[in-house]
Structure 1
Amino acid sequence: MAVVTNLDPKRRKSTPLDELTSLVSQDLDSVNELILANMHSSVEMIPQLAGYIIAAGGKRLRPVLTLAAAQLCGYRGENHKMLAAVVEFIHTATLLHDDVVDESDLRRGLASANAVFGNKASVLVGDFLFSRAFELMVGVGSLDVLRILSKASAVIAEGEVLQLQTSNDTETSEQAYLEVIKAKTAELFAAACRVGAVVAARPQAEEMALYDYGMNLGIAFQLVDDVLDYSAKQAKLGKTVGDDFREGKITLPIVLAFRRGNDEERAFWRRTMEELDQQDGDLERAQQLMVRHNALKDTVERARHYGAIARDALGLFPDSAVKRALLDVIDFVIDRDY
């Protein structure tokens, strides 16, 4: 019996993230306009490089979360749009810096900005975007918002340095790994959601509930990302499978496989991850060891744990379409192809 596959992208089944995005679509259009307007500079390379990475961007998940959180809190003003643009600038700046630090050649399946424009330009344009983000924050006129997003920026930078300290170290503990991803990834998710309540002048309980939602969603997101690096196809993932392995990046699947392995297997991990002495077939063996010791499966189970905490955090809010969409996004983040 023949199997018919729908190859028409216009008829692709919508995802929970698509549903959430549709609820804030008009606001998101305004955010995209703000992003384009505020990355302008008389220095030609700045909008050229910034436009390159932003145009190659993904689903705008973080600014969508800011818009959705503001809607969940009943906000009726305009400042949430500016804050969503700020969140995207901070995120884009960190991507530019990340790719330089990691010496990455690809970003979502395309040549990374540093591969096209060089490391120096990428770092400096990242600095420009951080600075522009702070300029926009000041324009919103909220000290609370400035405090939350400036702290998030500092925590992200700390996470980058912390990752350098654990890089190529197979003795890294699960707790140390979690500290890295909380700082590098989850803190911006948390701040993006929290400012939606702050701009709406909601009680602190709602503000912190949205912070907890974003933090735990961000942890789950990164856990699954780390699984995808060893199990997804490049066409679905948008990057070369095994990038983390080739860079010697210590993620939870490595931590679990190393601790559960025997002496010979630990020697393999030390050679490939610490010494970066990698040979043909080593990636395949790494994947086999992860399967043998349930490292990928258990990493996803941990993601489900944090997803459940994120779900509980929204219990404070009354039922609504945007709340249901935010809950559905948790499952979407965890159940990506792996």
Structure 2
Amino acid sequence: MSHRTSSWTRFGFVRRYPFDLAAVSIGAILAYLVVTSFGADSTLRLFVTVPFALFLPGYALVSILFPAGERSARETAATTADARPRGIDATERVGLAFVLSLAIVPVVVLALPLVGTELTTTSIAAAVGLVTIVFAQLGVVRRLRTASGKRFTVAPIASLGRLRRDESAVATASSVLLVVAIGTAVSALVVAFLLPVSAGGYTELGLYSEDEDGEVVAGALPSEVAANESIPFTIAVENQEGSEQNYTVVVQEQTLEDGEVVERTELRRIDATVSDGATGTGEQSVTPTAAANETVRISVLLYHGEPPATPTNENAAEETHFWVTVTGE
């Protein structure tokens, strides 16, 4: 018998853990995994991002501010000196959750550069998820410190029963319409705010070489090389697309006449996979095939995935180039 009592005592906190805040914490973790695992064009990612960014953080903060449930009219009239924390109903909680989320998420995003963190999808999702979980746990502490008869609890069936018996139906309907209006406004903001963040990524291509001091710099590539002499350089690809990307780099020697490419020779092709927010670099070298005293353009063309049958500077996602003259020596 004493052993059974000990077990109930041990798991008492788990049984009293608020269901809604447990759902908020688990939802934040699952949302982070979805946002960081799926591409920017994923419908599931967009579907998950809306509650993740526009509801969960605010709901967790509301739980800290208002751990108690709404007082009935009889409780309010009974005493005005009660030290019980002020409570709000479920409808007001949902409305405040949207409003506070709109305040929390921009603050989190603005705070990331201040702590030396780059603004990437992964870092923003991790920060929002962490803030949500921390707020939810503080909300658990606040709610469990409130008397059991006064703390807010999630009981959808009981709430619907009270709604049917509520004499102030007009006020209740107004509250519901307020929440719907807030939700509609927030959904509109998703198109203007969230989608540019997820779909407005970029890839940056850089071409570097070593100077006389052995430092890797831009713009120090040779303008002349001897026949059969190789040109060493470093290619850097920075991925800020919001997800891991597969790239193909084509290094092409081009002969131009009157500004038009009349001959193309592929010198090298490189496949690379770069994680979101990372920069992939690689040391390469090419040997021009041009005849002596001929000037050619060495173009570095970057593509997402497989390049087209004829890679050109115009159809590349990113391109950079330099000119070189092959001497007769």
> What is the TM-score normalised by the length of structure 1?
0.29
Structure with the bigger percentage of helix: 1
Structure of higher RCO (CA pairs closer than 8 Å, 6+ residues apart):
1
Rg (Cα) greater in structure? 2
Give the TM-score of the pair, scaled to structure 2: 0.29
More strand by percentage: 2
